[in-house]
Structures are given as structure tokens and as C-alpha cells.
Amino acid sequence: MELKKLLESLTFYNVNGEVENCEITSLEMDSRKVTSGSAFVCITGFTVDGHDYVDQAVKKGASAVFTSKPLTKDYEVPIIQVEDTNRALAMLAVKYYDYPTKHFPLIGVTGTNGKTTVTYLLDKIFEYHQKKAGVIGTIQVKIGEETFPIVNTTPNALELQKTFHMMREKDVKQGIMEVSSHALDMGRVYGCDYDIAVFTNLSQDHLDYHQDIQDYLRAKSLLFAQLGNGYNGEKEKYAIINDDDSSSHLLKRSTAQHVITYSCKKEATIMAKDIELTASGIRFKLHSPLGEIAIQSRLMGMFNVYNMLAASAAAIASKVPLKVIQEALESIEGVNGRFEPIAEGQDYSVIVDFAHTPDSLENVLQTIKDFAKRNVYVVVGCGGDRDRKKRPLMAEVALNYADHAVFTSDNPRTEDPQAILDDMTAELDSTSGSYEVVVDRKEGIAKAIQSAQKDDIILIAGKGHETYQIIGHTKYDFDDRDVARNAIKQKGV
């Protein structure tokens, strides 16, 4: 693409150098990826400043550089200075990849818990609706049956538009993505044109990044403020909001578009009635302005009723017939690493789940308690370099619900694993409940499995689908499901 054409995506900028006849062969924000003809955008990060890598980028053949501050030396390639390179990156990426989401509708899902689950429910619904879907989120990028690895739940603006472009090339008819609060706050989704924005719920997490819960909510609300601000202005846009959550009022006020509410407790656009939670799944009646359907699902727990309402509401707004929604939800066996049973023929249950917040841990433990015939064990830890304030809360929830807790390491990252466990247990006294601390996760899982007797249930929480454990800066192979399977076999069935 000609640089001149790329610059049409920006309004005010200063150019130092010659723009005419400058051809751009790729758009990059990482100097290490620059090749001959790349345009390099300098981003000021949390660790380093991209402006310090201009020399490297130019040496590698960059044919243009975007900055947000004056550079200390002159270069022979055009230097384009903008107010904010982060914002410019999104605009440039949308232009470079030729407005990819013009070609398919886009659903964004935000909230503390349930985003991945809702996106996979929607993926199944669109599969049944015979519309090829592309999903972006915590687990991976999934386009039809193809999957690609991912670093962040919501990728940066450049990676995101590139992924949308790939979806367009693969003939995707429906985009579905998780939108994290970090992404909203950092502007990773600037330039995205959402048709539907979904809110699951808000509870404590990420207070390492956000100053407080209000700031966290403010970040979430940006998705609803952004709804309808894109280039697909002629289509109707919908905000789908959990009306049973105390943040619903603010989120409704954040959007100028249509609002669809959902609730299990009160009058709302979409409601769940006659809910039955059983040891083998969920039954309820989904009531909508278009009619009522009976939902029968293998997913467990009240929280999954909410997830199904959220997904159904987004599907209804996307004009998917109720019958299709009903069949798709009935067919879902589970979501990777969410309430995933590990069955090796043993006479006790082992469940691997991704609960890594106080609220999700409480929800999943409540679900287990409701059907437990005997003791409930929980093996859980808290990630390092993440919200420290949730640590004592998660430990408290574990003790409130489980008969015995094994506190162990999650992803310690650069923190001392013992110090994380100390944060979890500092407030607990000996009367709070029965627990032990086992720093090594593999050992912690094995200990719980060794102790289990017939009809006991062990919940291994926090890592779900993850196939690694991050210690320091290194990712080691680690999968709770494999570790549990081996421990079960070692114990003997």
C-alpha cells in the first residue's frame, strides 16, 4: 500500500521527509519483525519504549516510522509524528487491512467471568446456524475448525485487525471476541466496529492494573460507549446487559444504542424461568419477546444459566431462530478447561476449572456443594504479578465451601511462590477451616487425589485450559488435566 493512502486514516500529523512514492509492505509495532518496506509504529509500553528501537527498525529496512515525540536524530525515511501512536496504530491497522469487519458482524463480550464461555456458546450457535464464526479469546483464535495460538485474551490493535483480515480471507460470516478491561483501557479495540456488545458480570479482579473497582467498571463501560461508533453505521446495534448485576444501570447509560436486558430474577427482555439445576446439567425456560424455548444443557451451575442467557440474547439480536439456539445449547458438552471432568474410572470426582477470581471460585464451589454426597476438596492458588487483593478473598471462599483446601502455586511468574501463598493465608485463623499449603502444584494435586475417598469431589481451580505454568519468565509444560490423570492412575482405581 502507498504510504499516502495509509495516511488517509489519520487526520492531523507532521511529516518529516518525502511521502510520495513510498510503498509500505507491512505494518509493524515490533522492530524485531520489521522487514524491508515495513512501516514501524513506535509504542510506549510498560517495559520498554518503541521509540528506542527506531535505529533498529530503519536498519532492517523500515520505509516509514510513526512516532509521538521528536526523535534525537535524523533518518532518511519519512518520520510521521502523531499525538498518540497507540490510537494511530489502530486507525492505520484498520486502513491497512481494509476495514476487515465491514465484511462480517462483530460481537464483543466483556465482564469479569464468563467471557470465554459465552463466546464458545455463541460459536456453537453460529455453527448450528450455518454461519462460519471466528472466535478471539483467552484460549485461542478459532476460525471454523482451525485454531491458532494467542498471547493476550484481547490482542493489540495491530494483531487484532490482522486476525480480522485473516477471518475475512477465510470467509468468516460472524466475528465473536472477548474484550478484556485491559484491552479497553489500553485502546487495543480502537477501530473495532461492534454490532453487539455483551456484559456478563462485574466482581473483583485485576486491581493490580485498575486503581479500584470503579476504574475497572469504567474500563468495561468503554465497550458500550464504543458501540455504534464505527463505519457500519447503518446497521442496528445492541447492548446486551445482565440486569441482575449491580453494574447494569451504569452500563445501560453508557450506550446510545438499543439495550437488551437478561435476568433470572426479574422482568427483562430475555428471562430464564423454572430453572432446575441438577447433577447432570441445567433445565430452564428461556423467555423472549419472540417466544419461549425449553433449554436442556449438560453445563453445570447457575452461572451457566446466565452465560446461556447472554449468548442467546446475542444470538436473538443476530436474528438466529430460537429453535437453532435451543438445539445448539443442547448439543454443547462443555468448554475447554471449564468444569471439565477427569474420569479415569475412579470412584471419586475430579473437576478442572478456570475459576481464578473470588466470585468464580464461589460460583463453581457452590455448584459442586449442591450435589456433593461427601467431602469437597479444592486445590487452588493465585497468579503472581496479578491482583494481590484477591488472594485472601479466594482463600476465604475456598475454606467457606470446601471441607479441605490445598493452597498451591498457580502461575507464580516473577513473585516468590511462598509469598503469594502467605498473602492467601495470612488472614486465615485455625478455626476458619481445614487447609494445607503445598507450594508445588503437581504435589498439591497428587495430595488431594491421594486423600480422596469414594464419592468425594476434588476441584482443581485456576488454570483450566492452560498447558503451562509460568515460573519466573519461563513457561514450563504443565496441564492440570494430565497431572490429575497421572495422579489418579498412580493411586489406582
Ligand X SMILES: Nc1ncnc2c1ncn2[C@@H]1O[C@H](COP(=O)(O)OP(=O)(O)OP(=O)(O)O)[C@@H](O)[C@H]1O
Ligand Y SMILES: CC(=O)N[C@H]1[C@@H](OP(=O)(O)OP(=O)(O)OC[C@H]2O[C@@H](n3ccc(=O)[nH]c3=O)[C@H](O)[C@@H]2O)O[C@H](CO)[C@@H](O)[C@@H]1O[C@H](C)C(=O)N[C@@H](C)C(=O)N[C@H](CCC(=O)O)C(=O)O
Binding-site positions for ATP: 111-117
Interaction with ligand Y in 257-286: which residues (CB under 6 A)?
A: none
DSSP label at residue 376: E
User: Using the rule CB under 6 A, which residue among 48, 256, 343, 426 binds ligand Y?
Assistant: 48
355 makes contact with ligand X (CB under 6 A): yes
Q: How far is CA 251 from CA 206, 225, 317, 360, in A?
A: 19, 9, 18, 21
| Alpha helices (runs of H) in 318-416, residue ranges in sequence order | 322-331, 358-371, 390-401
If contact means CB under 5 to 8 A according to the sort of partner, which of ligand API, ligand Y, Mg ion, none does residue 85 touch? none
- Find the binding residues for ligand Y in span 133-192 (CB under 6 A): 138, 151-154, 156, 180, 182-183
Q: What share of the chain is helix, strand, coil (3-state, %, to 5)?
A: 35, 25, 40
Contact pick of 255, 269, 307, 469 for ligand X (by CB under 6 A):
307
C-alpha 200, offset from chain centre:
12
Task: For the beta carbon of residue 233, count every other beta carbon within 10 angstroms.
Answer: 9
> Using CB under 6 A as the criterion, what x/- string covers residues 10-29 for binding ligand Y?
-------------------x
Chosen from ligand API, ligand Y, Mg ion, none, partner binding at 383 (C-beta under 5 to 8 Å by type): ligand API
Cβ(83)–Cβ(60) below 8 Å: no
- Report the residue number, 383 or 417, with the smaller CB distance to ligand API: 383
User: Rounded to whole angstroms, how far apart are CA atoms 150 and 163?
Assistant: 10
The Cα 493–Cα 485 span in angstroms is 11
Q: Which residue ranges make up the annotated binding site?
A: 31, 111-117, 152-154, 180, 188, 386, 410-413, 462, 466
Residue placing its CB nearer to ligand Y in the complex, 456 or 466: 466
Closer CB to ligand Y, 6 or 282, in the complex: 6
Work out how close the CB of 139 gets to ligand API at its nearest, in angstroms, rounded to a whole number. 11
Q: Check residue 73 and report its DSSP letter.
A: S
Number of residues that bind ligand X (CB under 6 A): 22
Q: If binding is defined by CB under 6 A, does position 463 make contact with ligand API?
A: yes
Looking at residues 78 to 137 of the shown chain, list those that interact with Mg ion (rule: CB under 5 A): 115-116
C-alpha cell at 204: 473483583
Max distance between CA atoms of the chain, in angstroms, equals 76
| Contact between 46 and 21 (Cβ < 8 Å) | no
When the beta carbons of 149 and 233 are compared against Mg ion, the nearer one is 149
Stretch that binds ligand X, among 22-30, 259-267, 349-357, 470-478 (CB under 6 A): 349-357
CA-angle at 200, arms to 198 and 202, nearest 5°: 125
Grid coordinates in use for 234? 447503518
Residues 110-169 that bind ligand X (CB under 6 A): 113-117, 138, 153
Residue 425 binds which one of ligand X, ligand API, Mg ion, none, with CB within 5 to 8 A depending on kind?
none
> How distant, in Å, are the alpha carbons of 34, 209, 301, 424 from that of 361?
43, 21, 12, 14
Q: How many Å apart are CA 249 and CA 41, to the nearest integer?
A: 39
Q: State the Cα–Cα distance between residues 259 and 287, nearest whole angstrom.
A: 16
Of residues 6, 7, 39, 53, which one binds ligand Y by CB under 6 A? 53
Q: Return the residues of window 106-165 that contact ligand API according to CB under 6 A.
A: 138, 153
SS3 state at 198: strand
Let me know: does 453 contact 377? Beta carbons within 8 Å: no
Helices (H), 187-301: 213-226, 248-254
Q: Using the rule CB under 6 A, is 353 a contact of ligand API?
A: no
State the residues that interact with Mg ion by CB under 5 A: 115-116, 138, 178
Interacting residues toward ligand X by CB under 6 A:
113-117, 138, 153, 178, 200-201, 303, 306-307, 338, 353-355, 359-360, 363-364, 464
Q: Which residues bind ligand API (CB under 6 A)?
A: 138, 153, 356, 383, 386, 410-411, 462-463, 466
Residues forming the site for ligand Y (CB under 6 A): 29-32, 43, 45-48, 50, 53, 138, 151-154, 156, 180, 182-183
